[in-house]
Structure 1
Amino acid sequence: MKIKLWINDKVYNDTIEPDMMLMDYLREKGFKSVKCGCDTTNCGLCTVYMDGKTVLSCSVPAARASGHHIVTLEGVAAEAEAFARFMAVQGAEQCGYCSPGFIMNVLAMAKELKNPMEQEIKEYLAGNLCRCTGYEGQYRAIKNYLAVTQANYKLFEKGEVIEGVR
């Protein structure tokens, strides 16, 4: 089966087996941030963006992704690194195994939800499993990150300088 898709703004034309999952295709192409943690769509480790919306790549046939734009953690590396550093400064770093899917969802949430309450954050991240924490540090850090990020968006919209960038 022939497919054509864009991964992190680069076009890929390939022939695949009809039953190949997007997660397997992405890993085959070298996008190792996409991980398998459960094979049951319960952990969130394989989260990517398809046309700007989060999807679990373990549940999407690669053939269905044909014609679509996929973004992996590698495609949002600068934003991901900024968030990861923020988490570390907040004392909420993790072992790292679940981080790629977790970060993809947090970055999507930052763009989608404006001033979410803690319950909204928990609901948005309900599909991300972390086996090494109790989540409280992460929720605190996420709330702080969203506050800073949204304040920066407001400054940017007003045309003000943000961290030396106009």
Structure 2
Amino acid sequence: MTTLNVNGQSHQIDSEPDTPLLYVLRNDLELNAAKFGCGLGQCGACTVMVDGQAVLSCVTPLIAVKGKEIVTVEGLGTIDKPGPLQAAFIEKQSAQCGYCIAGMMMSAAALLKQNAKPSDDEIRNALRTNLCRCGTHMRILAAIRRASELMEAAELPAANRSAG
């Protein structure tokens, strides 16, 4: 048995230590946002955060994340109350087919955790392992910039926020 902390909740997992984290998330915990794309860590569809870092879950064995904090897209917010990153992706209509979006969001979440106001070059660099075949890259960049704004606004005291 392995204990995992996923989206702030503790889970007991009965899987082999070399089982890819992606399989545990999808099959055991029914967290299906992270996708199986290539299985080789080359497409980014399976990206999640582990201790604040973007990690390719299809090539990360269960044993490597024992005792670490794992966050998936499901941990960023809910349907009724999306987190700033999710809200920005919705606002900017950044998803087309949606296959890559969870991985893109998690790479962006890791970036924004480290750098609240990244440049376009820093965003592109953070997303370099995430492939999108639909071509919504410009909307994805816009969504990440918007998420940065939303996160900054949420941190300001109400009296200091500008209207609008």
Task: Give me the TM-score of the superposition, normalised by structure 1.
Answer: 0.81
The separation in 1 between residues aligned to 2:76 and 2:160, in whole angstroms, is: 19
Q: CA RMSD in A?
A: 2.4
Residue ranges of structure 1 left out of the alignment (5+ in a row): none
Helix, strand or coil at the partner of 1:13 = strand
Contact 2:94–2:139, Cα closer than 8 Å, also in 1: yes
Gaps in structure 2 of 5+ consecutive residues: none
8 A contact 1:49–1:71 mirrored in 2: yes
Sequence identity percentage = 32
Is the partner of 2:122 in helix, strand or coil? Answer: helix
Larger radius of gyration: 1
1:53-105 deviation per Cα after TM superposition (whole angstroms, max 9, x unaligned): 22111121112222222121111124755434433433433221111111112
Contact 1:152 1:162 in 2 (8 A): no
Aligned to 2:149: 147
- Matched AA of 2:106: M
In the alignment, what sits opposite 2:38? Answer: 38
Alpha-carbon distance change, 151 to 63 in structure 1, aligned in 2, over 3 angstroms: same
d(CA) in 1 for partners of 2:137, 2:64: 33
TM-score (normalised: structure 2): 0.81
Residue 162 of structure 1, CA deviation: 9.2
Number of matched pairs: 158
Q: Which residue of 2 aligns with 1:48?
A: 48
Q: What is the distance in 2 between the residues matched to 1:13 and 1:91?
A: 37
Tell me the distance in 1 between the aligned counterparts of 2:121 and 2:152.
18
